[in-house]
Chain A
Amino acid sequence: MPARRHPLYGLMAEFDRPEDLLAAAKRAYQEGYRRLDAFTPLPVEGLAEAVGFHKSRLPLIVLIGGLVGCVGGFSLQYYGMAVNYPLNIAGRPLNSWPAFIPITFEMTILFSALSCVFGLLALNGLPTPYHPVFNAPRFELASRDRFFLVIKARDRKFHPEKTKQFLAELHPKDIADVEA
């Protein structure tokens, strides 16, 4: 093995088909590896679970955003029409709530959608200006037709040689060191 200039981020195994990657990820998890990640050109059913991801907080973020938009949108109209600048038009009620529903609805959707997108970016840690996996020589194929499994060096069970041996048992197309 040639001398590395940088510390190791992990080991990357390349697969041809999503099913092979999925099976490999499950094997690695069974083997006790926990710091796993998989990279694919398309969403693969069950892969996130296979690398140990279980529950996303995204729906909760969207719910909170939607509630903020709903309450905020209605309050804005109530404050403007009934508190701050009340107009008495033939004694009609100032809190004419049915007329406030369309804007309340639109604000609910707007805030839900904004929290959904910004929540997605925040949870995924995007924008990420630098990430070690891009150092792997064939990683650009992860956005085309190849499927990659990475076992990170941070994993407690990680061993440069033994982990590489384990990955070789999974019959990948290629195994590469990923520099940090």
Chain B
Amino acid sequence: MDPVREDKSPAVETRTVIGPGYDYASVTDKIAAIVLTRGTPKWWWTGFALTFVLVMMLFYAMSYLFVRGVGIWGIRIPVAWGFAIINFVWWIGIGHAGTLISAILLLLRQDWRTSINRFAEAMTLFAVACAGIFPLIHVGRPWLAYYLIPYPNVMKVWPQFRSPLVWDVFAVSTYATVSLLFWFVGLIPDLATLRDRARNRAAQVIYGVLAMGWRGSAVHWHRHELASLLLAGLATPLVLSVHTVVSFDFAVSVVPGWHSTVFPPYFVAGAIYAGFAMVLTLSIPIRKLYGLEDFITMRHIDNMAKVMLATGLIVGYGYMMETFMAWYAGSRYERYMMLDRMTGGYAFIYYALILCNIIAPQFLWSKRVRSKVGAVFAVAMFVNVGMWLERFIIVVQSLHRDFLPSSWGMYYPTRWDWATYVGTIGLFLALIFLFIRFLPMISIFEMRTLVSPSAASPRVRLKEMRT
């Protein structure tokens, strides 16, 4: 049931976080219908089938890896990190936008986050799932990866708690757990809505079990809001810490190009940058395909583009300071590393990265560009590619020329590297397809708080919580 749309002028469209004419019932029905009654569209089957093929390719590449070992990849000394770590850092970074939207923007009371928050959180979970695969399969003997967890063992050895690689295990597993919990807590009231709306017995039972008997009691809501705020407060420092710890994997070592104090803030900004690019990449097609232009309005696209521009500038500042410090610090190895970055074997990747990460987002200064969905999508794609190239430069270019010329060497990815990488993109998209089909991709109860049925009624809103 679509509401009347006559009064939708472009001026209104760019400001509002929800289209006109909605009330509690129509917001609920429109989002619930995507899952319950609208059926499975053809494009869903096509998309899911394609991405499922990629998932199978990932399984194939991983099975072959388990049989033959990491030698099937292009990693050789001196470049022992290769695609696995590039992809790990890239995926983890993409996840960060979801937490930023769900936690930090909640604390800052940005009501425009409401309609993209559930979706971005799901993206976080799936990106972290993809990220987690890489270090596990990169350790060489993945069946012994549990050695990273401190547990009482007959060998009486411990993980080296002073190593950033072990910090990473804790940071990423905590991040995955907290993101899942936060996402699920937000889902409970919406699962109850689906339970009450579902007409098919299986759906009623499944959503009913997942909703755990949620009934919208005032006291329950009170605690639910309190828990959401507390989780947001916990997730905010957590998300900043995760990419900081990831950057420690590099910065704590002495490799020229890695040993740098600018890494933590610049990694966090890069993560948010990449994450917003991915949110835009996914939400632009989905809002079109499901006709959700009233919920994910031009204001959302505009705001996300602005966040992308701002974080992109921070990343640009990071590049600038890296270059400046390489010259100013007076270390010949640092200086050579930077010279090689600009003129060496991987220079073309460096310039592609400058084009994608620094030049492309500058178009977002223009309001006209930001108001064209296609243009914003194109910039977001540039940023997706650019942030991957950045990690390639950091991981590969820094390692391939370190202190001793006798240990220099080039790194070339093999088809197995590509198969694994593209396979995780398939896994990510396949999970997104399943998510939009089976769960409400927009938080229904939070959308209800945005609609006021009569002009006289005050907006019901998350306000100061008195506890």
Interface residues of A (CB under 8 A from B): 17-19, 25, 37-45, 47-51, 53, 55-56, 58-59, 62, 76-77, 80-81, 84-85, 96, 99-100, 102-103, 105-107, 109-110, 112-114, 116-117, 119-121, 123-124, 126-131, 133-134, 139-145
User: Closest CB of chain A to B370's CB: distance in Å?
Assistant: 31
B15 interface residue per 8 A CB criterion: no
Q: Tell me whether chain A's interface is mostly helix, strand or loop, or mixed.
A: helix
Q: With A58-B230, A110-B177, A144-B24 as given contacts, are A102 and B457 in contact (CB-CB < 8 Å)?
A: no
A-B CB pair tally, cutoff 8 Å: 201
Segment with Cβ contacts to A, from B159-167, B278-286, B361-369: B159-167
Report how far A99 CA is from B167 CA in the complex, Å: 9
Q: Which of B395-416 contact A (CB under 8 A)?
A: none
Q: With A99-B162, A112-B234 as given contacts, are A40 and B221 in contact (CB-CB < 8 Å)?
A: yes
Minimal Cβ-Cβ distance residue in B for A44: B460
Q: Which of B60-96 contact A (CB under 8 A)?
A: none
User: Out of A43, A59, A131, A133, which one reaches B462, CB within 8 Å?
Assistant: A43
Interface residues of B (CB under 8 A from A): 23-25, 28-29, 150, 156-159, 161-162, 164, 166-167, 170-171, 174, 177-178, 181-182, 184-185, 188-189, 192-193, 195-197, 212-227, 230-231, 234-235, 237-238, 241, 245, 248, 445-446, 448-449, 453-454, 457-458, 460-463, 466-467
Contact B460 A45 (CB under 8 A): yes
Interface centre among A37, A58, A106, A110 (most CB of B within 10 A): A106
Contact A143 B227 (CB under 8 A): no
Contact A145 B24 (CB under 8 A): yes
Minimal Cβ-Cβ distance residue in A for B225: A43
Provide the residues of chain B in CB contact with A121, threshold 8 Å: 212
User: Closest CB of chain B to A84's CB: distance in Å?
Assistant: 7
Contact A143 B174 (CB under 8 A): no
Report how far A134 CA is from B24 CA in the complex, Å: 20
Report how far A77 CA is from B326 CA in the complex, Å: 36
User: Out of A44, A45, A144, which one reaches B197, CB within 8 Å?
Assistant: A144
Provide the residues of chain A in CB contact with B457, threshold 8 Å: 17-19
Contact B453 A17 (CB under 8 A): yes
Minimal Cβ-Cβ distance residue in B for A16: B453
User: Closest CB of chain B to A152's CB: distance in Å?
Assistant: 12
User: Closest CB of chain A to B6's CB: distance in Å?
Assistant: 23
Report how far A121 CA is from B182 CA in the complex, Å: 13
Contact A56 B218 (CB under 8 A): no
User: Closest CB of chain B to A120's CB: distance in Å?
Assistant: 4
Q: With A43-B460, A85-B157, A128-B213 as given contacts, are A51 and B218 in contact (CB-CB < 8 Å)?
A: yes
